[in-house]
Structure 1
Amino acid sequence: MSSTDALADAATAPRRSSRSSVVQSTGKSEADAAPTAKKRKAAAAAAGDDSDKPAKGKKKAKADAVEAEGEAEAGEPAEEEEGKLGPIDIGDSLPSLTLKNEKDEDVDVSSLTADKGLVLFLVPKADTPGCTTQACGFRDIYPDFTGLEYNVYCLSADTPAAQSKWQTKKELPYPLLSDRKRVLITALGAGEGGKTKRSHFIFEKGGKLIDKKIPVKAGDSPKIALEFIKAQASTE
């Protein structure tokens, strides 16, 4: 065979693919490689499923925590129920209930009528125009109440700090009681929709409720309360 013929045969001879060479060198066929790839894919998927589990666990734990918190919040009113008082009406006595005064000191309201009568006037919010009118009205005739053996107290849902500031600003001569949860305010019938109705209540010595005005005008409250006490004194 001539050199020309040899070159022609080499050019027309089928070329062996490099892929076949790789298969031969590894000793594995393409068919053998396919199951291995599937196994690896399945293993990876399984690993992915496992990695998802902690995340799901965290989500469930978070959901459980939220639910528990909701149950705790739902249970809070039960605690408030224990602090609630029954309605206080004419003829009823002041209950034993501890409130803070403007000095942030504890005061048992049942002790306020141990030695004298009590005028308890309620204001919606300290240091507002109407409430200041009512408070200053009691301030201006305060000696008339004490002369008739009656103490005067202001009651509101304000903080002791706010009450103290108001007391100093307006030179109020009587104590102020803070009923933050409106426990006593509600029992007196002056708490509605998270608000306090302007009013006043008169308790005789010993604690029995003998008069109430609810609602009452800010300017009228002090005068009406004093007139009632004077009328009571004249009949005794």
Structure 2
Amino acid sequence: MAGSNEEGGPRRSTRIAARPQSASDADKQKPEPKATKPKEAKSDKKPAAKAATTDSKPAENGKPVADAEETKAAPKRKAKDSVDPKTSDAAPEGNVAEGAGAKKPKTTVNVLKVGDTVPQDLTVEDQDGKQHKVIDLVKSTGAVFFMYPKANTPGCTNQAKGFKENYEEFKKGGYAVYGLSADSPKAQTSWKNKLDLPYTLLCDPEYHVIKAFGAYADPKKIVRSHVVVGKGGKLVETQIHVSPAASVTEACAFVKKAVK
């Protein structure tokens, strides 16, 4: 009995000793997961930002919902990296679209010669701002068009007065009289009223008619001249680069001769 107690005693003591040993070992092992948790948290921070938007959203029709940030970023990369020049609405580099800032194409005007007919599309504005086809101005009567550099200047005033003084002679011969320059309608009206001119003044700021009659000189200058256009639109006389007085006398002499 005593021996069995002695043998059993140590067994009990061994068991009792083993229990605290296992408890202490467990306590020693407890900090280990704590030490690993911060490491896992650090390693999970970067992927967590990417997966947060995808994992937090429920699946639709059994398919995972795409991340909102990735969905937004995708079209930006596509628009930047994969532009199809055939389907893109943007104008290609080096090819400037027409618009604000674009230069207007130059209009080519052929200089008329004696015997030529005034073009149908040649138009001009009068001192009142009304548009006319030049061919309509000579449909039922001939006309003398005298051209001058600028309204209300001394030489041009002498030229205009000379045609005013001989206006009835031109009218009797079946020819109307028109003054022509690049001045504005306002400037032409003021000058017409100041001199009490009996004929119409025409405005050609783009020099289309002036060029057609051969009275244009670069850069944007008008050579004092006159042309005579017969009834129906055929050019019958041109005098380029003349003095104010000679413009009047030569035009009047041609009309009188044409009537005879």
Q: Same fold (TM over 0.5)?
A: yes
Deviation at 1:115, TM superposition (A): 1.4
* Residues matched between the structures, number: 200
Structure 2: 5+ residue stretches without partners:
1-90
The residue aligned with 1:157 is 182
Equivalent position SS for 2:178: strand
Spell out, residue by residue over 1:98-135, the C-alpha distance to the aligned partner (whole angstroms, 9 max, x if none): 21100111111101111111100001111111111101
**Following the alignment from structure 2 to structure 1, what is the Cα–Cα distance between the partners of residues 119 and 129?**
20
The reply to whether residue 113 of structure 1 matches residue 142 of structure 2 is no
The reply to whether residue 188 of structure 1 matches residue 210 of structure 2 is no
Within 5 Å, give how 1:71-220 maps onto structure 2.
73-74=102-103, 76-77=104-105, 80-81=106-107, 84-96=108-120, 97-193=122-218, 194-220=220-246
**Following the alignment from structure 2 to structure 1, what is the Cα–Cα distance between the partners of residues 102 and 212?**
24
TM-score under structure 1 normalisation? 0.67
**Following the alignment from structure 2 to structure 1, what is the Cα–Cα distance between the partners of residues 190 and 210?**
21
Deviation at 1:85, TM superposition (A): 2.8
**Following the alignment from structure 2 to structure 1, what is the Cα–Cα distance between the partners of residues 256 and 231?**
15
Deviation at 1:69, TM superposition (A): 7.5
* Largest Rg, 1 or 2: 2
Q: Identity rate of aligned residues, in percent?
A: 40
**Following the alignment from structure 1 to structure 2, what is the Cα–Cα distance between the partners of residues 204 and 125?**
26
Spell out, residue by residue over 1:20-57, the C-alpha distance to the aligned partner (whole angstroms, 9 max, x if none): xxxxxxxxxxxxxxxxxxxxxxxxxxxxxxxxxxxxxx
Runs (4+) off by over 4 Å:
67-72
**Following the alignment from structure 1 to structure 2, what is the Cα–Cα distance between the partners of residues 126 and 93?**
28
Give the counterpart letter for 1:93 in structure 2.
Answer: T
TM-score under structure 2 normalisation? 0.61
| More relative contact order, 1 or 2 (CA 8 Å, 6+ apart) | 1
Structure 1: 5+ residue stretches without partners:
1-63
